[in-house]
Amino acid sequence: MLVLLLLLRVEPALPTATVPEHSSQWMRRLALADADPAPCDAQCQDAQRRALSQLFAAWSGPAWTRRANWLSPDVPVCAWEGVVCCGGPTAEQGGGDAGGGEAACAGKGEGGVLGLSLAGNNLTGDVTAAVAWGALATLRVLEVDGNRLYGSLSRWCAAGGGGGLAALPRLRYLGLAANQLTGGLAEVAGWGGAGAGPASLPPQLGSGSVPAPPGPASSGARVPAAAALSAGARRSLAAGLGAAGGGPPVLTALLAAGNRLGGPLPVGLMRQPALQYLDLSGNSLTGPLPAELFAGAAANRLRSVRLAGNQLGGPLPELPEGADVAAELNHLDISRNRLEGPLPPYLARLASLSYLDASHNVLLSGPVAPLLRPLAPLLAALSTLMLRNNSLGGTLPAVLRGPQLQYLDLAFNNLTGNFPSTVIPQLHAAWSG
Ligand SMILES: *[C@@H]1O[C@H](CO)[C@@H](O)[C@H](O)[C@H]1NC(C)=O
Ligand SMILES: *[C@@H]1O[C@H](CO)[C@@H](O)[C@H](O)[C@H]1NC(C)=O
Ligand SMILES: *[C@@H]1O[C@H](CO)[C@@H](O)[C@H](O)[C@H]1NC(C)=O
């Protein structure tokens, strides 16, 4: 199979299904894991109802595809379609994006709102419109992907009269993909304490606060149910998330692909104390990749970073020789940018990296061999390496030993020599000199 594929410039079948762990369903589940219904007294109920009514008006509610019960005076907001007031069981049912938790929440319909599941619902409007976000302070999941929301993300994030998103201290999951948001990321980057690394976190958010990353061997396994998160993980999630304190959100997932966001990637974004999933693909970001993206455990908690299709440029950052590298980074897509210069040797030390796509950065140059040394930690975990359409040169190592390696695409580069003789049974490869 390998030999045949090498004869042609193969379009390898891309791994279309992403690792389940990186699915939005998994992330939502994480954000809602063990969320007890938040208490919400009558005054809180009124305030929630007012805020949601404002939101409905500001975002063209009457034109929404799914809007059952919205604004009904006799129906608690927890039974409005897409409003989620229950934790685990709701996430568990998964069925569609419409919350679907009403049954599981029966009898608890008066709680604080934990999630708004309004993806693909024909929402149209300005995200900075006046909505009393502060009245929804129990919100953990805000999901509005695939709508027609516009306006400045920075202004929406800033604390303002209604509080903006900064008034949501428990927000963990922010899904904004495929809208028309503008502005930059400086405000979001300021959340979680400017410059605060995990080292300065309270113990419950320190190591152990996130479920153990599945090792390479289990990365294809089914997503464990939220209930199967380790007891320690659940405890610490509950402790970390349940704190009633104020302050801006401490995000676990920021998913804003396919908008019109611009400006640089702020260092503060990399250093968010709990951020694990970052997707900013298909925006208009400029400037270099911050070194903090690749730097050691003290710098970030990132597991999945998708930045494809922006205008990021310059060389990949340098790290001091022998510096600690990001131990949890598992998925990195920096393809279709304007990155240039050599592939830095520290990439080969990213021991958790299983997916690296740096294709279509025409100026990435230098030898590729250091990444593919048989004993590099990178190769132990890597399942996908896409470096298509760069200017990489040199020869490949004679032996390629990647126990997980399935997709290797080095086509449209400047490589010379022979393909390694060692055949990896599961490998699909595309390579041309
Ligand atoms: C979506 O909303 C717009 C108004 O904001 C409306 O004109 C359009 O008909 C709606 N589309 C659908 C499919 O309901
Ligand atoms: C290589 O990338 C450039 C843009 O960076 C693109 O225009 C070109 O079509 C790509 N070539 C191939 C063979 O994919
Ligand atoms: C490929 O290598 C040749 C010879 O080393 C060099 O002249 C050429 O500029 C390289 N092309 C690219 C696109 O890097």
Strand-pairing partners, residue 173, are 141, 253
94 Cα–ligand 1 center, Å: 26
Binning pLDDT at 50, 70 and 90, where does residue 422 land?
low
Ligand nearest to the CA of 364: 3
378 Cα–ligand 2 center, Å: 26
Binning pLDDT at 50, 70 and 90, where does residue 306 land?
very high
Separation in Å, CA 239 to CA 91, 199, 203, 205, 274 = 19, 17, 10, 8, 13
Residue of minimum CA distance from atom 2 in ligand 1? 63
pLDDT confidence of residue 9: 33
Neighbours of 43 (CB within 10 A): 9
pLDDT confidence of residue 222: 31
Of 155 and 216, the one with more pLDDT? 155
pTM, to two decimals: 0.82
Q: Average of pLDDT values for 364-377? A: 83
User: Can you tell me the distance from the alpha carbon of 167 to that of 356, in angstroms, rounded to the nearest whole number?
Assistant: 36
pLDDT confidence of residue 247: 83
User: Can you tell me the distance from the alpha carbon of 359 to that of 408, in angstroms, rounded to the nearest whole number?
Assistant: 11
Report percent pLDDT > 90 for the chain. Answer: 46
Of 27 and 366, the one with more pLDDT? 366
Ligand nearest to the CA of 393: 3
Whether 259 contacts 180, CB under 8 Å: yes
Q: Has residue 120 got a pLDDT over 70?
A: yes
Q: Has residue 372 got a pLDDT over 60?
A: yes
Separation in Å, CA 388 to CA 27, 35, 60, 255, 281 = 30, 43, 43, 25, 18
| Coil, helix or strand at residue 105 | coil
Ligand 1 lined by 69 (C-beta under 6 Å): no
Q: How many residues in the chain? A: 433
Of 400 and 344, the one with more pLDDT? 344
357 Cα–ligand 3 center, Å: 22
Q: Has residue 6 got a pLDDT over 50?
A: no
User: Domains along the chain?
Assistant: 20-219+235-329 (3.80.10.10)
Ligand 2 lined by 11 (C-beta under 6 Å): no
Separation in Å, CA 21 to CA 46, 185, 212, 244 = 37, 25, 12, 28
Mutate to test the pocket of ligand 1, among 122, 147, 150 (most ligand atoms within 8 A of CB): 122
Strand ranges in 95-177 using DSSP code E only, listed in sequence order? 115-117, 124-126, 141-143, 148-152, 173-175
Ligand 3-lining residues (CB < 6 angstroms): 391, 393, 414
pLDDT confidence of residue 3: 26
Residue labelled with tokens 């390898």: 12
Residue labelled with tokens 């030898």: 367
**Closest-lying ligand 3 atom to the alpha carbon of residue 414:** 1
Mutate to test the pocket of ligand 2, among 362, 363, 387, 409 (most ligand atoms within 8 A of CB): 362
- The tens digit of pLDDT for each residue in 249-301 reads 889 999 999 999 999 999 999 988 889 999 999 999 999 999 999 998 677 88
User: Can you tell me the distance from the alpha carbon of 222 to that of 312, in angstroms, rounded to the nearest whole number?
Assistant: 34
Q: Has residue 354 got a pLDDT over 50?
A: yes
258 Cα–ligand 1 center, Å: 20
pLDDT confidence of residue 280: 97
Ligand 2 lined by 411 (C-beta under 6 Å): no
Mutate to test the pocket of ligand 2, among 334, 359, 360 (most ligand atoms within 8 A of CB): 360
Q: Average of pLDDT values for 354-374? A: 87
Residue of minimum CA distance from atom 3 in ligand 3? 414
Contacts with 290 (C-beta within 8 Å, 6 or more apart), sequence order? 265, 266, 267, 270, 317
pLDDT confidence of residue 397: 82
Rounded-to-10 torsion of CA 153, 155, 159, 163: -80
Mean pLDDT estimate for the chain: 77
- Range among 35-49, 186-200, 234-248 with highest mean pLDDT value: 35-49
User: Can you tell me the distance from the alpha carbon of 366 to that of 363, in angstroms, rounded to the nearest whole number?
Assistant: 10
User: How would you classify the pairing of strands 115-117 and 83-84?
Assistant: antiparallel
